[in-house]
Amino acid sequence: MKIVVCLLSGIVGILLVAILVLSGMTMRPGANMARAEVEIAASPAEVWPWLTEGEKAKKWVSWLVEVREASPDKQVWVMHDMN
């Protein structure tokens, strides 16, 4: 019986440590941010239309449904997240 209590206490202790570590990791600066970088072997003049023209952007952003011009210098991207 004493062995069972020790084993259960050890499992509970490990779970508590895991929960504390994970919750501590979510509180660090930048924990809710993701960052990625891609180097494209093309000139900015070739790439820019794929970022700013709605129909071209929809070809490479799979969840993009619509691109609207909010003002001459702003766009609204309407997305559908399947998750």
Contacts of 67 (CB under 8 A, 6+ apart): 53, 54, 55, 57, 58, 75, 76, 77, 78
- Is the pLDDT higher at 66 or at 33? 66
User: pLDDT tens across 34-78, in order?
Assistant: 888 989 999 999 999 998 888 999 898 888 999 888 888 888 999
The reported pTM is 0.46
